[in-house]
Structure formats: structure tokens, C-alpha cells
A and B are shown apart, each in its own frame.
Chain A
Amino acid sequence: MNKPLIDIRNLSKHFDRGRHKIRAVDDVSLSIEAGEIVGLVGESGSGKSTLGRTLLGLDRKTAGEIFYKGSKLPTVYRAKDFHRYARSMQMIFQDPYSSLNPRMTAGEIIGEALRLHSDLNKSDIAKRIEEWLVKVGLNIDHLGRYPHEFSGGQRQRIGIARALILEPDFVVCDEPISALDVSVQAQIVDLLGELKRSLGLTLLFIAHDLSMVRYVSDRMAVMYLGSLVEIGRSDRVFFDPKHPYTELLIGSNPEPDPNQERSRQKVQSIGEIPSQLDIPAGCRFANRCPHAMAVCHDVNPVLRIVSHEDDERLVACHLYE
């Protein structure tokens, strides 16, 4: 088996809120192979974004280890660490409105990383910026314009160019299409796919749109209240979910097909995701789970392999023990 590009082991990120502790990410392990797209899904408040940010050192981890190409990433990122890893790992943000500096032109935004992290001279940088503008589907005229002059889709293209201009190996895409219209979502997904192939990128694709995640990613990881409950090949997870939470998520996903919707089985959906301040003992999903047993309220299930075939499926559920 290949050595994973990213190997996350028992990662936790807790936030202190006064006397309370928010366990946003709790003991998460996940490895991502080079060239793979892993989709990370879950409801808001499940800790998806925090996992992505902690992975890149934007939030300081509370516990656990992250390995990049076999070498351990620092716990606390100092300026030189960011400098060192900026060429390898980057992030594309959700909101194309607030993630671009309104006082910088598109050209300045896209070129900033090259100015900071490369020894190219000015004219080479300018050439690269122009290349990337075209690569992401913008044109040279856009160079001197400010973010407010662009549409949401165009801004996301700028965000993509900014993240990829250093040609990193690994990119965390945090809900890159959620703020966009349907017709534009497909444009951005297409662009990401194209760039992934030409640059050999590895992506962690965070989203809550299950159909899109299935379409985009090779493997899917399902997160609930700070921990991963199921990991497997996207298609398999989608059509044959094992964890009751995955089943609930996929059963709630409306299909753009009236016949399919008419024959839909009504899913039993109980309650809402509990607060992270108040994480239940035992399985986190037990109080919403239609199959909950006595053991579920006491013992927290861990991820274990439930099927092999060509799909190594990991599920954290007592039903499969």
C-alpha cells in the first residue's frame, strides 16, 4: 500500500469557553493517499471546518499527530513553519466574499503567495499571475480589478488561483461551492477537477451537499459531533450506508427526480444535533438513533473495518461489532 500523503492520528481540537470545553474535533484519525479526493460531510457544528483548519495549522491542535509525507507537522506553527508548508498545503475558503481582501486587486491577491514564498523576480511573477488568471477561466483584463467588481463564481476562481499558484500537493477545500448558484457550482467543480488532474493534487473536499460530494470525491468520510462515524468509497457509502447517521443523512437528501421522490421511504428523523458542550457519553448519535441499544448509551464505539472487498469500509457503530 502507498504511504499516505496526509496521515491524521487521534487528532483533537478543543476550544475553551469559560468553564466549558467545546470538543469540536475529538480523536479523529484519517489518512489521505496522494492523488485522492476525500469528501468530508456532516451537519453544521459537526467539526468539519475545524478539522480542515487544524490540519493546516490555522487552529492549534489540542492533541494527536498529523504526518505529511511521513514527517510530523508541528503542534504550534511559527512564522517559519507557515513559510515552509505554504508551498505544500493550501486552503480554498467557503465564502468568496469575505475571504478576499477588498483593498487588493485580483492580480495582487493571486500573486501574493509568490511574492512571499518564491524567489521569482517581478516580471516572472507577473507572467505567472497572468497564466493562472487564464487557467482559472478569467482574463488579463481582470488583473487590476477589485473583489467587489466580480461575481461570486469569479471570486471563487480568484480564491482557487491564489491557493494553487504555489502548486501545493494538498488542498483543503472548505465548502468551496456552497455559496454559489447551481449553474456556477458545476463550473467550479469542473475547474477543480481539471486542475486536480493537471497538477496531481490531493484534496480534502468539505461540503454538506451529499450528491456533490459523491460526484466529486473518491472516498467519503462522515463526521458527526466531532468524530468520524463512517469512511469508505463514495459510491458505496452513498448507496449502501452502514452507520445509522449516514443512513439518515442520505435518506434526507432530496433527489432532483420527482419519481424517485414519490417512491422515497420516509426517514425517521428524530431531534437535532446536540450542542458540542454537552456531548453524550457513549455513542454520540445514540439519542437520535432508531437502532440504539443499551450499550450505545455507555460505550463510545470506535471505527473498525466492517467490509473488505475492494472497499475498506470503516464504521463506528455497535451494530457491526
Chain B
Amino acid sequence: MALLEVSDLHVEFSVQGGSVQAVRGASFSVNEGETLAIVGESGCGKTVSVQSVMGLIQTPPGRITRGTAKLRGQDILGGQAADGREIRGTDIAMIFQDPMSSLNPTMTVGAQIAEPLIVHRGYSHRQAMRRAQELLEMTLIPDAASRIKEYPFEFSGGMLQRSMIAMAIACEPSVLIADEPTTALDVTIQSQILDLLVDLQRTNNMAIILITHDLGVVARMANDVAVMYAGEVVERGAVDDIFYRSAHPYTVGLKSAMPTNRRGAVQKLTPIEGAPPDLFDAPPGCGYYTRCPYAMEVCEATPPIVFDVDRAHQSRCWLHHKDCPQQVTQIYRP
């Protein structure tokens, strides 16, 4: 059984004159000690999905209309366990894209790391500060003893992200959600932060849900991948399935729109033409219909169902229907 299992999640936001269907069917899961990457373009519902699990969606205007999220089999959707216990910050913790605006500028970094320990674990201030220093040392911040007394503006972007990670792992969560944790950072610092996450995962046996739009980061970090498009998970599988046996036209499109660096290989980038659909007025059929080079008549009006391509590899695309006449070489079919 997966540690965290999210099924058929639907989230909408009411706006003037209607609602935006931000998430229209997201299912994903992550195992202990493993990393799930959720990939997709901006506006595809990656962040909203995990925020719903964490109970970070403001209601109204947001509303979870369907779906479940189970941590070790227990329903936790909305950030609370069935017995009313808060899971946010204890069982599941989160780090964000922009560490500068996610930290309180008027509190020392140490006090912010200590806070969850005082709130959730009942530590005294002194114990919590001592632990905060240890956590900063774990995240490899040099000179941690004096750094805990400094304010966020005195830290560089990489240091701030390390502090965010220290804060997130303070209560030893079983799941760490990292929402574009390295997007704002330079590639050398990104590399350091990713290494740090892997090291912490090994020591704590923590599951990581990594939200990113960078397929390079996915290839480096993920065991499993969920590809999202227009509010839906369109393909799910092990990282090798997604990269080497891509079974959804969008995944294929994403891959050929990105430069790879194989020595001697001449590559021509193929952009995905057009733009994602407006989820205020979601299309009746497949969300990728207007951009898909393999679109068929059925795709326009009938939303595709999820097909099992292989063991633990799924694709939401009519091309996988057993009666589909079209054979597309780029799309994997076993």
C-alpha cells in the first residue's frame, strides 16, 4: 500500500460568473522513502492538488468537490485526520518555490524553525532553539550557531531554501511536499539543494512529492511521475516508463520541446503549438485535443478514460482503447 494515495481529486474555484475547474481528476500516490514528481505547465493544477491535500485551499472561493486523500489508509483530505488531529506540519510538511516570501521577515530564522517544534511537539523554547541549530547543521548551513540568530534578509536564496527545508523536516514528517523548490535558484545551487533532499530522504525514509516543470529535475530525482495537463493527470508511471515508454501525446510533446544533450546527436526542437485550454470553460472532451497531433474525432467531445498501458503505467488517452484504429509510433503500446 502506498504511503499517501490521492484519488480522483476535483477542485474548483468560484469566480465571477461561474467557476474554474482547477483540478479535474488527479490521482497519484507515493511510497515511503520514494519520490513522486508531478510535472506540468503553469496553471495545470499541480500546486492546487497538493494544497488541497494539505488543507491550504481557501474555502470559499475554493472547494474540493470530489476525491480522497489517504495517508496510511486514513482519510486526511483537507489537512485533518479523521480523529481531528492536524496532519499539516507534522505528518506532511511543505516547502515552497520562493523562500524569501515564505519566511517571516521580522522573525529570526532560528525562531521560525523552532516554531513548529513548540507548537506541535511541545518543546520548550530552549530545547526548540537547540534543535533548530541541529536542523540547520543537517541542512549544511555553515556556522549554524550564529546563523539561527539572523533574519531572512541576511541569507542568500540557497540558504533560505535550506532553512525552509530545516523547518519542514523539524517534526520528522513522513511526506515532504516540495513545490518548485529550486525554480528560483541557480543551477549550481539547485544541484546542492537536490542533493540535500536526497540525503535527508535516505536518513529519514521520507516520501517526497516534488512539483516541477523541469524534466531534468524529474529525471534526476523521481521514482514515479505524474504528468498533469489542464487539471488532469494524463500519464502516470515509473520514471523510466514516462521517459522511455511515453504513452500520452502531451508527454511526448513535452519531451520533444526540450533540448537534450547527447553528444553528436542533432536535435530539432518541436514546439507544442497553441496554448492550454481555459479551465473556466473547460472543453467537453480531452483537454489536449486542440494541440494534439494525433487527435481523433472521439477526442473532441468524449473525455478519455484512464487506460492501463502496462503494470503501474497509465495514460488518459483514447489511443490506448483496444478498438482504436490509429497506430502512433511515438506512443508506447506494449
Contacts and interface: CB of A to CB of B under 8 A. Distances in A.
Contacts of B187: 43, 208, 210, 249, 252-254
Nearest to B187: A252
Interface residues of B, number: 44
A281 B188 CA distance: 23
A267 B258 CA distance: 23
B260 A273 contact: no
Given A184-B271, A214-B261, A257 B219 contact: yes
Contact of B261 (A151, A187, A189, A211): A211
A280 B254 CA distance: 42
Interface stretch (B25-33, B90-98, B209-217): B209-217
Interface in A259-276: 260-261, 264, 266-267, 269, 272-273
A264 B194 CA distance: 13
A214 B259 contact: yes
B250 to A, nearest CB: 9
B165 to A, nearest CB: 16
A186 interface: yes
Given A186-B269, A257-B243, A211 B275 contact: no
Given A43-B187, A256-B255, A182 B195 contact: no
Given A190-B271, A272-B156, A43 B261 contact: no
Contacts of B258: 182, 186, 211, 256
A18 interface: no
Contacts of A182: 41, 213-215, 254, 257-258
Contact of B188 (A212, A255, A269): A269
Contacts of A253: 187, 216, 261
B235 to A, nearest CB: 15
Contact of B269 (A190, A252, A261): A190
Contacts of A176: none
Contacts of B127: none
A309 interface: no
Given A153-B275, A272-B189, 10 more contacts: A43-B187, A185-B257, A186-B257, A189-B269, A211-B259, A252-B188, A252-B191, A254-B219, A258-B240, A260-B219
Interface of B: 41-42, 156, 158-159, 186-192, 194-195, 213-220, 222, 239-240, 243-244, 253-255, 257-263, 267, 269-273, 275
Interface of A: 43-44, 151, 153, 181-187, 189-190, 208, 210-212, 214-215, 238-239, 248-249, 251-258, 260-261, 264, 266-267, 269, 272-273
